[in-house]
A and B are shown apart, each in its own frame.
Chain A
Amino acid sequence: MALEKPYKDVPGTTVFDAEMARKGYHLNQFCMSLMKAENREKFKADQRAYLDQWPMNEEQKQGVLTRDYNRMIAAGGNIYFLSKIFSSDGQSFEQAASSMTGMSAPDYRQMMLTGGRQVEGNRYLSEIKDGKLKTNANVEKK
């Protein structure tokens, strides 16, 4: 009998469970290496060569090289680990989060300033039409 994973039908959300953690182990450990300044320098000097030192798969490496955080998360990355990449790039959590939503940074900030993304219509995969999540009434009006 399989484990129950009710969180699989929450739209736009990947829960970092044991299965994802297994998949992303080397990607996440690569991220941890960026907490040392000397490693950050090596990574910046030649990203591909630095990544090739880690037993990561090509999908994970491409995710990192293109800074596609959704792609990294799908490949087992966890946001707190991935934060070491965007911190090295000088990006904030807010900028990184906005990049995952498909919104521009100013639009995302505006959404947050007007109460954040609403939960109505964003609870279940079945509520999502044309692949787009709701923002909030203030933003949608415009």
Chain B
Amino acid sequence: MAKINSAVFCSHVPAIGAAIDLGKTEDPYWVPLFKGFEFSKQWIKQEKPDVIILVYNDHATAFDSTIIPTFAIGCADRFPPADEGWGPRKVPDVIGYPELAAHIAQSVILDEFDLTIINDMKVDHGLSVPLSLMFGQPEAWPCRIIPFPVNVVQYPPPTGNRCYNLGKAIRSAVEKFDEDLNVQIWGTGGMSHQIQGQRAGLINKEFDNRFLDRMVSDPVSLTKIPHIEYVREAGAEAIELVMWLVALGAMGTDFKQVHRFHHVPASNTAVGHMILEKTK
């Protein structure tokens, strides 16, 4: 049986991708950030996931204003990196897992989560930056990846509660898949940041740390954070944190924290990172 054994949470700031691609990871500005991922890179080498369900958002790249799916799942064999205006990142194509993706779609749609099915899509920094942070710069990504885009660009994104419950449905879908697979689920984006308007640059370290605390101590309480609280307290773009709740919902209640990291700044953003492992 396939099983979700761990979850990785991590911000997906485009400047981090640029720092890796341009060989700037040793710059004093970036050193403290990459230090926070040293443990994680070792950890994932030992974990050897077969598949990652990667929850992220597209940033007006594959989706423009013509079609805006709230939840979508990538069912293709392959997803090339997108040109976001400065040429595509030189990272490997994402190799999908069409059978598992289609299985998840069928299962969660009958559980009343109406996913949009995507069979042709390019993926942007929202997906590729977390992969670079966890795997470095390999020739090919070491496992298969199912892209799972969530709309957080046009307000309103789905509620935190909806995201959390979707995570639970994904978990039970995975457990109904007959092959033996070590599955991870990643929640990306956040943490506190605002990149628009006169209030750009807002960071709320206390908010972020409380959020990280509660992921472990009282995960369900996070599903009650209304959108306005993210916007007012942690910046307009902090609302991306609802994507973390999909991955958190998929972890249920029996898990332990194996790594936690927070760093300010990466460009305009507070970077948060956590790894959780299932205990049962």
Q: Please give the residue numbers on chain A whose beta carbons come within 8 Å of chain B beta carbons, in ascending order.
A: 6-7, 10-18, 21, 25, 28-29, 31-32, 34-35, 69-70, 73, 78-81, 83-84, 87-88, 92-94, 96-98, 100-102, 108, 111-113, 115-119, 122-124, 133, 135
The 3 A-B pairs of least Cβ separation, nearest first, read A116-B203, A12-B198, A12-B199
List the A residue with the shortest CB-CB distance to B206. A119
Q: How far is the CA of A108 from the CA of B153 in the complex (A)?
A: 24
Given A28-B60, A115-B264, 9 new contacts (CB under 8 A): A6-B228, A14-B197, A70-B198, A92-B267, A93-B15, A98-B200, A98-B201, A124-B232, A135-B201
- Please state if B65 and A117 are interface contacts (CB–CB under 8 Å): no
**Option from B60, B64, B267 in Cβ contact (under 8 Å) with A94:** B267
Determine, out of B38-46, B81-89, B179-187, the stretch whose residues face the partner at the interface: B81-89
Query: Known contacts A7-B231, A21-B65: does B15 contact A79 (CB below 8 Å)?
Result: no
Q: Tell me what chain A mostly uses at the interface: helix, strand, loop, or mixed.
A: helix
- Please state if B199 and A10 are interface contacts (CB–CB under 8 Å): yes
Q: Which residues of A contact B203 (CB under 8 A)?
A: 112, 115-118
Q: Which residues of B contact A70 (CB under 8 A)?
A: 197-198
Shortest Cβ distance from B264 into chain A, in angstroms? 6
- Please state if A16 and B267 are interface contacts (CB–CB under 8 Å): no
Q: How far is the CA of A124 from the CA of B231 in the complex (A)?
A: 11
- Please state if B231 and A16 are interface contacts (CB–CB under 8 Å): no
Q: How far is the CA of A70 from the CA of B233 in the complex (A)?
A: 21
- Please state if B84 and A87 are interface contacts (CB–CB under 8 Å): yes
Shortest Cβ distance from A141 into chain B, in angstroms? 17
List the A residue with the shortest CB-CB distance to B201. A117
- Please state if B265 and A73 are interface contacts (CB–CB under 8 Å): no
Interface centre among B85, B205, B233, B265 (most CB of A within 10 A): B85
* Residue interface bits B222-244, CB-to-A below 8 A is 1, else 0: 00000110011110100000000
Q: How far is the CA of A97 from the CA of B201 in the complex (A)?
A: 8
Q: List 25 A-B contacts (CB under 8 A).
A: A10-B231, A11-B199, A12-B198, A12-B199, A15-B231, A16-B155, A17-B156, A18-B154, A21-B154, A32-B60, A34-B85, A69-B196, A81-B64, A92-B267, A93-B195, A93-B267, A94-B268, A97-B195, A98-B201, A112-B201, A119-B233, A119-B234, A124-B232, A133-B198, A133-B199
- Please state if B65 and A17 are interface contacts (CB–CB under 8 Å): no
Does B202 touch A at the CB level, under 8 Å? Answer: yes
- Please state if A73 and B232 are interface contacts (CB–CB under 8 Å): no
Does B14 touch A at the CB level, under 8 Å? Answer: yes
Q: Which residues of A contact B270 (CB under 8 A)?
A: 116
Q: Which residues of A contact B153 (CB under 8 A)?
A: 16, 78, 80
Q: Which residues of B contact A16 (CB under 8 A)?
A: 153-155
Q: Which residues of B contact A81 (CB under 8 A)?
A: 60, 64-65
Does B59 touch A at the CB level, under 8 Å? Answer: yes
Q: Which residues of A contact B204 (CB under 8 A)?
A: 119
Q: How far is the CA of A12 from the CA of B267 in the complex (A)?
A: 19
Q: How far is the CA of A111 from the CA of B64 in the complex (A)?
A: 32
Shortest Cβ distance from A130 into chain B, in angstroms? 12
Q: How far is the CA of A108 from the CA of B195 in the complex (A)?
A: 12
A-facing residues in B113-164 (Cβ within 8 Å): 153-156
Interface centre among B65, B227, B236 (most CB of A within 10 A): B65
Q: Which residues of A contact B60 (CB under 8 A)?
A: 28, 31-32, 78, 80-81, 83-84
**Option from B65, B85, B228, B264 in Cβ contact (under 8 Å) with A116:** B264
Q: How far is the CA of A80 from the CA of B61 in the complex (A)?
A: 9
List the A residue with the shortest CB-CB distance to B205. A115
- Please state if A100 and B232 are interface contacts (CB–CB under 8 Å): no
Q: How far is the CA of A113 from the CA of B84 in the complex (A)?
A: 26
Q: Which residues of B contact A113 (CB under 8 A)?
A: 265
Shortest Cβ distance from A26 into chain B, in angstroms? 9
